[in-house]
Amino acid sequence: MKNFYKEKKIYIPVIIVAVLIVFRILLPQILLYEANKYLGEFSPTYSLHMKDLDISILRGAYSFEDVTGKLKGEEKTFLTISDVDVSIAWRHIFRGKVVTDIEAKNVDFLFLKDMSKLNPPKKEAVDVKDTLFPVKIETVDLKNARIVFEEYPALSDESRLKIEKINGRITNLTPDEQNKISNFNLGASIQGSSELVFIGSLNLLQKPVLWDVDVEMKDFNLTSLNAVLKRNLPLTFTKGRMDFFAEAQNDKSGKMKGYIKPFLRDIDVVANNEKFIGIKHFFVEIFTALGNLILRDSKTHTIATYVDFNYDGKFNISTGQGIENAISNGFKEKLKPGIEDKYKMKE
């Protein structure tokens, strides 16, 4: 009997460890199956799917791998993500808060011509968030993300407008009355030519969410937009660089206001051997070239202007103000590059 009890004392922990190991092996597969089943059925217009799910018990984290989003019926892929890591923010544990940090790598999003297909009802969006991220989110880090604008489905990826190498962070996504404001800082490359920077704030406690944003881009090569401009204006550049500054914010009624301030240097829109794709293209290029000669500063060869805008269901831009400021920059008082710090959200 003594030997039996001795053996029993050995078998019990061995069995418990074996059960835990089997449970650890099977749990990710069970969760992956249930998550994919839900993500495939939650929306009538599109579905999400993840290839793998892993759990790190010691780190207090889990991760998704090879996430894809597709339109139902068309089987068109509009989203791919190589890795999404969700981990406990241990720095907040001793403050009595259980929140997570999220890191998403290699996010590739195709901005469809008809994005209304991808706008789920608010309840569906909240349900997906609560299913994949059941604990409140503190920070989100983006690493090497990309947005491609579809414009026309037949276009190749090389011909489309692209914002690439998006890296940055959004913080304080679990605001409270003592710390209401969330902040974001994102950098990106547009058309592989110049760095585009977005810095701003959010008040997620307000309904609608209040926000403000500063946008800055320097030394952008205008010729990199020729394929896009020729399809839409039409207009093409043979040379030229641009610095661009803008600010915007919304209010409690949902209206948006802001300004844009572009600086164009050494631009040329008509080459000696320019090939015009139509009479409209010809006149757009000719009048743009004339405007360039008339409005640019003779010393710096720069065209600059400042234009206010607002949005309340549709964009309203003061064209007259833009022309007046361009003339003033060319012949009178020069505009200064940089953000004006005119629009800042109040708590």
pLDDT at 283: 44
C-beta separation of 161 from 228 below 8 A = yes
C-alpha 40/C-alpha 292 separation (Å) is 53
Amino acid type, 87: S
Residue 18: other Cβ atoms inside 10 A: 10
Q: Is residue 311 part of a domain?
A: yes
Q: Is residue 286 domain-resident?
A: yes
Lowest-confidence pick of 9-23, 159-173, 243-257, 262-276? 9-23
114 assigned to some structural domain: no
Rounded-to-5 percentages of helix, strand, coil across the chain: 30, 40, 30
Domain limits at 316? 213-347
Task: Decide if 14 is inside a domain.
Answer: no
Q: Is 310 helix (H, G, I), strand (E, B) or coil?
A: strand
Whether pLDDT at 81 is above 60: yes
* pTM listed for this prediction: 0.77
pLDDT value at residue 115: 67
DSSP per-residue codes, 195-214: EEEEEEEEETTSSSPEEEEE
Q: What is the pLDDT of residue 105?
A: 96
Residues 6+ apart with CB under 8 A from 5: none
At 299, the pLDDT band (50, 70, 90 cuts) reads low
| Backbone dihedral angles phi then psi of residue 86, each to the nearest 5 degrees | -120, 115
- Answer yes or no: is pLDDT of 279 > 60: no
pLDDT value of position 103: 95
Tell me whether residue 275 is in a domain. yes
343: in domain: yes
Supply the DSSP symbol for 225.
G
The β-bridge partners of 198 are 186, 215
What's the pLDDT score for residue 5? 47
Mean pLDDT in residue range 261-290: 59
Q: According to the per-residue pLDDT averaged within each range, which of 121-125, 264-268, 271-275, 334-338 is highest?
A: 334-338
Check residue 290 and give its pLDDT: 45
Confidence class of residue 334 from pLDDT cuts 50, 70 and 90? Answer: confident
Q: Does a structural domain hold residue 29?
A: no
When pLDDT is averaged across residues 100-124 and rounded to a whole number, the result is 79
User: Is residue 229 helix, strand or coil?
Assistant: helix
Other C-beta atoms closer than 10 Å to the C-beta of 69 total 19
Query: Is residue 126 scored above 70 in pLDDT?
Result: no
Q: What is the pLDDT of residue 304?
A: 84
Q: How many domains does the chain have?
A: 1
